[in-house]
Amino acid sequence: MQDKAVPNLIITGAAGFIGSSLVDTLCSQYPAQKLILVDNFNDYYSPQWKREFLKKALQENKDRIVLLEQDISRRPEELCEVFKKALAKLNESDFSDWTMVHLAAKAGVRPSVAVPYSYAQTNTLGTLSILETCRTLGIEKLINASSSSVYGRHSSVPFSEDKLVSIPQSPYAASKLAAEIFCQNYSELHSLKCISLRFFTVYGPRQRPDLAIHKFTRKILASQPIDIYGDGSTARDYTYIDEIVSGVINAIVLIQTRHEEKGFHEVINLGSSRPITLADLVKTLEEVIGLKAKLDYKPLPDEDVIVTFANVDKARRLLDYSPSLPFNEGIKRFYEWYKEWQNQN
């Protein structure tokens, strides 16, 4: 991007995999920036892990970061008061030049089938609370983390942003699509400038332990069988964390340059545009780890999609986004982190 000016930010979901990686990059590249970090440290996976992920950033940037342990599903008027107090701690007078980066969500496609209400509460109503908070506080720009899951099983590949998406395959996907629709609504009614980024299966250091690469690594090392849903031909557009973070930062930069009198809502894919089959994922892990996996084949769940495959032409054009890291190199980097993390924890 030509202009790398990045404003002060509120980042929800800041302690998670993507959030904490973004925070570390921002702290190293933008030393004058102020951040309000928001996370409820839920127990979907270890809250202690999340605290460790943010530890360095908080220790080294005490004068410009405030951490709020808050649930985004709180009423907007309550969030507004909490955010105002955080603003005062940073010696800022108002939020007019701030941007909201909304990464917080209840994650997991398969778990959402069992408890759909909690996904709607966090991902949809939580996003609505954030949008209403932005409107009340005068925050005019928002980056919204969406998901490739909104495309479902019935979209032609590669997935393009101009395709109508109306048949989500899981409650998780439905909750993320509904959040996008609310973003569109607020852009039209309240002149919000918004970019929804559809992330495609992010992996790398700090990846959640329930996701395939992390889980398979753990089981291969423990000589435990890996559950293979389907025949191994399902495919995911695995995207390395550093490329996702770069895309998010460039989206933050882009939204500062848009000067429409009214709001807008751009939807942009962030993927690698190189789907990897489940069978090839296992093969790559075996090669990197140096051990053979034990496989346990099971029926493909109804909520699983067959393939995800991002068309990233729009991201290339608008965000100068150019994913290039080979998958086997990304797996090597993840495995090096995994070994070090296990030794430390």
Tens of pLDDT, residue by residue over 245-260, are 999 999 999 999 988 8
Asked about 172 being catalytic, the answer comes back as yes
* Paired sense of beta strands 65-69 and 35-39, if any: parallel
- pLDDT computed for residue 4 by the predictor: 62
Q: What is the mean pLDDT of residues 338-344?
A: 91
Q: What is the mean pLDDT of residues 28-40?
A: 95
**pLDDT over threshold 60, residue 345:** yes
Tell me the whole-structure pTM to 2 decimals. 0.95
- pLDDT computed for residue 59 by the predictor: 97
Q: What is the pLDDT of residues 79-114, one digit of tens each?
A: 999 999 999 999 999 999 999 999 999 999 999 999
What is the separation, in whole angstroms, between the first and last Cα of the chain? 38
**pLDDT over threshold 70, residue 212:** yes
pLDDT more than 70, % of the chain:
98
CB 91 within 8 A of CB 58: no
CB 108 within 8 A of CB 44: yes
Please determine, looking at this structure, whether the domain spanning 9-203+240-272+309-324 carries the CATH number 1.10.287.70: no
- Assign residue 208 a region (left: φ > 0; alpha: ψ between -120 and 50; beta: otherwise): beta
Give the type of residue at 273: S
**pLDDT over threshold 90, residue 5:** no
- From the list 119, 151, 172, 186, the catalytic residue is 172
Q: What is the mean pLDDT of residues 175-200?
A: 97
CA distance 186 to 7: 21
**pLDDT over threshold 80, residue 311:** yes
CB 180 within 8 A of CB 150: yes
CB 226 within 8 A of CB 295: yes
- Tell me the sheet residues that pair with 269: 198
**pLDDT over threshold 70, residue 1:** no
E-assigned strand segments in 239-292: 239-240, 264-270, 276-277
**pLDDT over threshold 50, residue 2:** no
Question: 31-35, 157-161, 311-315: which has the highest mean pLDDT?
Answer: 311-315
